[in-house]
Structure 1
Amino acid sequence: MSLAARFAEAYGHPPAGVWAAPGRVNLIGEHTDYNDGFVLPLALDRRTLVGAEIAEGVTTVRSSREPDAVVFEADTVVPGEVTGWAAYVAGVVWAFRAAGLPVADLDLLVEGDVPVGAGLSSSASLECAVAVALAELTGTALDLTEVAHLARRAENEFVGAPTGGMDQMAAMHGVADRLVFLDTRTEHVELIPFALARHGLRLLVIDTRAPHQLVDGQYGARRADCAKAAELLGVPALRDATAADVETLTDERLRRRARHVVTEDDRVLGVVERLRAGKDPRAIGPLLSASHTSMREDFEITVPHVDVAAAVAEEAGAHGARMTGGGFGGCVIALVDTEAGDRVADAVAAAYAERGWDAPVVFDAVAADGAGRA
């Protein structure tokens, strides 16, 4: 049964349409976005779908993953009123209203295949799908970046997650077989070729099944450390610091945090330079691996599940592997030759079994188009 048919079954009338937005995999550039730095995500070919139609009186949100509907009023909903998964939906409606844009109560049905809690930005995917639906249904003309801003505001100010803007920008600007190279200071977007199949390559996503939660204190603590380091260095953001600057910091923790951000920006630029020049994508493998080492040793955001997955993937033949996402769980990506993908996946699964861990879920990441009508 299609989403439209399930919508009609749930609400007694068909939707006006079905809109979709992708999850994202960040190829490289972790925790650089809120430091005015560079990121290089791709829009994932796994999406959140939203069936929607204008409703009378209240907004009703249903999800195939949740037993109960959530109800709120578009004209009055405020932060704190709606919590849990539906806060991402209510937050978008609130963000539109707070920006002086028209809102309407909607009947909504949400489903999709972006893994929740895996660091693949299921939240931004939901926000952007709702945002493009609401914009179209209210006749509001917005460009891709404007929608991303509204979705980010929903996550930051309504949900309370202090994330940067990469996830929403990737969900809106994604294009098939392209990476989204984003300068987070200027918001300039450049699409970088990334058609791996032509080079006999795959990008595996290894969902480690280690739970991932950004609204706890760890993400905020890393962000505060970066802000403090920039203040001590006398720069607007760590994007403006050099490696030599970083080594002048006397606080060891702040020095390590800043070193990760500065070197990660350099790694992003190195990957972009190689891919822009048309080099074999295998050449970016060492930079992916170096990013993981930096996240583990300097930024301290990895956990045993992701460290084992990255290490075993490389031992089994990956050209490079790294954790992707905000950290403390989530997914590892591994750049592998096409014929080596199953071998790498099996090796990681065996390593998990030896440790008594739940089996990881492995799938291919394919760069896909951004949000819009499904």
Structure 2
Amino acid sequence: MSGWFAPGRIEVLGKHTDYAGGNVLVCAVNRGVTATVEPGRRGIEARSTAQEDAITLEPGVAVRLPAGHWGQYLNVVVDRLGANFGPLRPARLAIDADLPLASGMSSSSALVVASAMALAQFNGFDESEAWVAAIRDEVALAGYLACVENGSAFGALSGRAGVGTFGGSEDHTAMLCSQADHLGLFSFNPAALVERVRLPDDLAFVVAVSGVSAEKTGAAKDAYNQASRGVAELLARWNAAAGRGDANLAAAVESDPEAAAVIESLVADEPRLLARLRQFVAESTWIVPASVEALRAGDRAALGELVAASQRWAADGLDNQIPQTEALVEDGRRLGAVAASSFGAGFGGSVWALVDRDGADSFAAEWLAGYVRAHPEPGSRAATLVTRPAGPAHALAD
């Protein structure tokens, strides 16, 4: 039997910046998804402890599943591994998770990472010439698994149909490249670790799951993709006007001190694109780097102000906030959090609050109780967890 564990992640800062080549500040959490594989009879027989139904998957064979079904992600994994590395041995794949599903902590990407790595190990793909040539380190592995999810090619490894969202590799990078007790600052132009900053020992994250589903393959998919399509449109306008071929929006903005102003002028009469540009520039070039410095200096006040600015830009530039997550942010600050922010794709999901470690459990209880009183319907599905930055995805011991 082979198996892998992939943690969930907190996107501390860097809202919708990764697929634009920008900066993100992330960490793994102490919960995640476990995938175990053992020999089977036919195809990939998959079962999840979160769902009663089992499914059988074959590379290249489409399955009809409801929107947001966990099997859609496994189908993409099986199809892509078969296309890139050859036939898969018949297997039974078991999925277990203690990470809240559709919560914004990227349970979907954790499922992709854990299942892909367990199947790759079971089939010996991770020792093949094609794998070793294309995937040289953990950052490259994260990039490949992101391409499995979004359907893009990765170097010589051809693409296939993904899950239907046009995301980047932030989630997969956080899961595979995190270090316990540290936040990682990653740039995605190209993907690389910039630096790590230790979270002060007296602080912890409390995550509140709003109870409003953030399934990227469900109803929020079109809204999620609008943010990424806006970035693509901004880049196309810039490249056409400047006669350039920049690969992403970060490269465009960094190409010249006046580039951001030029792009603004190109979309001055289009409020949606203008707001998207300003959100990206503020988040990636100012808020993320300045927050690392505030953490390093132990400047709680500065960090709180920067995170509040990030939250405002999410509402104005991404239009991906809902009343429930906005209320959780406001209540977290009122209860004394150093900082609080929604995170992930948006349109539901979770909010993190950075609080004194000694009082984290009581903070979590009070935060959740207030939310349930104010929002009883989603509150019936709400939950909290307390975590420090955790370590990366890993193979399970035999």
TM superposition score normalised by structure 1: 0.87
Matched, 1:210 2:229: no
| Equivalent residue number for residue 383 of structure 2 | 361
Q: Which amino acid aligns with 2:373?
A: A
Matched, 1:67 2:52: yes
TM superposition score normalised by structure 2: 0.82
Change (3 A) 1:333 1:281: farther
| Equivalent residue number for residue 394 of structure 2 | 372
2:147 to 153, 166, 170: 153
In the aligned structure 1, how far is the partner of 2:264 from the partner of 2:386? Answer: 39
Change (3 A) 1:191 1:252: same
| Equivalent residue number for residue 7 of structure 1 | none
Q: Which amino acid aligns with 1:149?
A: G
Change (3 A) 1:53 1:312: same
- Tell me which moved more, 120-129 or 49-58: 49-58
| Equivalent residue number for residue 3 of structure 1 | none
Contact 2:103–2:214 (CA under 8 A) maintained in structure 1: yes
Contact 2:8–2:106 (CA under 8 A) maintained in structure 1: yes
| Equivalent residue number for residue 287 of structure 2 | 267
Q: Which amino acid aligns with 1:148?
A: A
Deviations 1:96-151 (A, max 9, x none): 22223563232111111111111110011111111221222222235423432342
Contact 1:212–1:328 (CA under 8 A) maintained in structure 2: yes
Percentage of matched positions with identical amino acids: 27
- Tell me which moved more, 51-60 or 316-325: 51-60
Contact 1:313–1:344 (CA under 8 A) maintained in structure 2: no
| Equivalent residue number for residue 23 of structure 1 | 8
* Secondary structure, aligned partner of 1:94: helix
In the TM superposition, what is the alpha-carbon distance from 1:352 to its structure 2 partner? 4.2
* Secondary structure, aligned partner of 1:209: coil
- Tell me which moved more, 177-186 or 141-150: 141-150
Q: How many aligned residue pairs are there?
A: 353
* Secondary structure, aligned partner of 1:159: coil
Matched, 1:144 2:138: yes
| Equivalent residue number for residue 175 of structure 1 | 179
In the TM superposition, what is the alpha-carbon distance from 1:81 to its structure 2 partner? 5.7
In the aligned structure 2, how far is the partner of 1:89 from the partner of 1:96? Answer: 11
Residue segments in structure 2 that go unaligned for 5+ positions in a row:
128-134, 152-161, 254-258
Change (3 A) 1:99 1:316: same
Residue segments in structure 1 that go unaligned for 5+ positions in a row:
1-15
| Equivalent residue number for residue 306 of structure 1 | 325
> Aligned Cα RMSD in Å?
2.2
* Secondary structure, aligned partner of 2:24: strand
Change (3 A) 1:281 1:65: farther
Q: Which amino acid aligns with 2:223?
A: Q
In the aligned structure 2, how far is the partner of 1:145 from the partner of 1:343? Answer: 35
Contact 2:183–2:199 (CA under 8 A) maintained in structure 1: no
* Secondary structure, aligned partner of 2:297: coil
| Equivalent residue number for residue 5 of structure 1 | none
Question: Equivalent residues in 2 for 1:1-374 (5 A)?
Answer: 16-73=1-58, 76-78=59-61, 84-100=69-85, 103-139=88-124, 140-141=126-127, 143-157=137-151, 158-196=162-200, 198=201, 200-215=202-217, 216-234=221-239, 236=246, 237-239=248-250, 240-241=252-253, 243-245=260-262, 247-248=264-265, 249-250=267-268, 251-265=270-284, 266-275=286-295, 278-280=296-298, 282=300, 283-341=302-360, 342-343=362-363, 345-347=365-367, 349-359=369-379, 360-374=382-396
Deviations 1:226-271 (A, max 9, x none): 2212222337333233553454232111101111111110211222
